[in-house]
Amino acid sequence: MRDHPLLFDLGPVKPTTRDIADRVKQGGAAALTEAERRADQARYQEVSCRSALNRVQGMPFNWTLNPYRGCTHGCHYCFARRYHVQFEMNSDDEFASVILVKRNFVDVLTAELDKPAWTREHVALGTATDPYQPIEGHYKLTRGTLQALARGRTPAGLVTKGPMVVRDRDALGELARAAGCTVYMSVPTVDDDAWRILEPGTAHPLQRLRAVRELVDAGINAGVLMAPVVPGFSSSRSKLERTIKAIADHGARFVGCNVMYLQDGTRTHFMKFIAREFPSMAPRFEKLYIKKYPPDWYRKEVQGMVRVLQERYGVSRREGAEDTPVPERVEEPEQVGFAW
Ligand code: SF4
């Protein structure tokens, strides 16, 4: 491994994500001696990336953009936890406390969008990290990304739990006019207990909904993803109804819904979390999540209820799948009751 300059050194060379993965593999997160620890106690490690546009398969879009890796929002169900494992970091504390910042992300993206071969396909932001987690206030990489996309006339969908997105309504508007842009605010539930337990580092759900209101008022196509609905925490009919009513009251242009899925490192983390904090629920989760998704008919029952409530409160269903920045892979169904 080559030597690297200190974090925030003005020298041009930053370690790559692979360099960082190697360091962590050898010495754990403690080996990141250059990472800056900020007031939120997370460690921020600048890295340089070789590419920004990331090709994906099996999703409703072909390209993703993630200027950061890891997320201080620390949602226990986060499907991106498993990506941290792929880079030698654990899916528990390190996912939420060791954040990689791709310092040259906007420059690399700009160069990629300038290539004649780029066909201006739709891209999805925020599939593996929240582009408006607090550190974005410092680096503004997401803002730069939106501006680069507008210059490159490339349409995008963006998913976030960060009300900071309102800061960039001008850039979002510019992108919408240049190529098309949709903001998907993630608000799985407005239930206070479920929010505190499951999404410890996020803004209050109503704060997120107020951000949706502000974006819609600014002419941005913004709606809500009620995802994931977490069995036993946010899946009751009364909680679903309160959430959809609040979404409608805040003027969201659409709402989509999906039930939690658990895979690899995300599953490991979530099951450990449940066993530690809510041991009496653990057997039910083990039964419901034999596969990555709960059984087909469980999901259909939740989504059917959501559909009825959408009709009742007059909020449209989510737009076409091509705009959807959330992976929705369906596993084979098995029979388990809608017990929660
Ligand atoms: S905000 Fe999104 S990316 Fe961040 S931890 Fe929560 S689900 Fe994961």
Residue 7: the pLDDT is 44
Ligand 1 atom at minimum distance from 79 CA: 8
- Give the percent of the chain with pLDDT over 90: 69
Average pLDDT of the chain is 86
CA 237 to chain centre: 25
Q: How is residue 258 written in tokens?
A: 């999906």
Residue 22: the pLDDT is 74
Residue 326: the pLDDT is 41
**Measured distance CA(61)–CA(132) in Å, rounded:** 21
Residue 36: the pLDDT is 72
Residue 24: the pLDDT is 72
What are the pLDDT digits (tens) for 49-79?
999 999 999 888 999 999 999 999 999 999 8
The preferred substitution site among 64, 69, 71 for testing ligand 1, maximizing ligand atoms within 8 Å of CB, is 71
pLDDT tops 90 at residue 228:
yes
Please choose, from the candidates 12, 2, 139, 157, the residue with its C-alpha nearest in 3D space to the C-alpha of residue 67.
139
User: Rounded to the nearest 5°, which phi and psi values hold at 66?
Assistant: -140, 100
Ligand 1 atom at minimum distance from 74 CA: 5
Ligand 1 atom at minimum distance from 161 CA: 1
Q: Tell me which of 59 and 130 has the higher pLDDT.
A: 130
Ligand 1 centroid vs 260 CA: distance in angstroms? 13
pLDDT tops 80 at residue 286:
yes
pLDDT tops 90 at residue 15:
no
Q: Is residue 71 in contact with ligand 1, taking CB distance under 6 Å?
A: yes
Beta strands in the chain (DSSP E): 36-37, 43-47, 54-55, 63-65, 68-69, 98-102, 123-125, 156-160, 181-186, 221-229, 255-259
- Look at 61-70, 118-127, 310-319 and tell me which has the smallest mean pLDDT: 310-319
Q: Is residue 78 in contact with ligand 1, taking CB distance under 6 Å?
A: yes
Q: Tell me which of 318 and 281 has the higher pLDDT.
A: 281
* 27 close to 59: Cβ distance less than 8 angstroms: no
CA distances from 273 to 30, 149, 214, 259 (A): 23, 38, 35, 18
Work out the pLDDT band at 133, boundaries 50, 70, 90: very high
Per-residue DSSP letter, 286: H
Q: Is residue 130 in contact with ligand 1, taking CB distance under 6 Å?
A: yes
**Measured distance CA(225)–CA(218) in Å, rounded:** 19
What sign does the dihedral 107-109-115-116 (CA atoms) show?
A: negative
Ligand 1 atom at minimum distance from 162 CA: 1
Ligand 1 centroid vs 169 CA: distance in angstroms? 21
Q: How many CB atoms lie within 10 A of CB 114?
A: 11
What are the pLDDT digits (tens) for 89-122?
776 778 888 899 999 999 999 999 999 999 999 9
| Protein residue whose Cα sits closest to atom 7 of ligand 1 | 78
| Protein residue whose Cα sits closest to atom 6 of ligand 1 | 75
SS3 state of residue 44 = strand
**Measured distance CA(298)–CA(339) in Å, rounded:** 9
Please choose, from the candidates 155, 215, 209, the residue with its C-alpha nearest in 3D space to the C-alpha of residue 183.
215
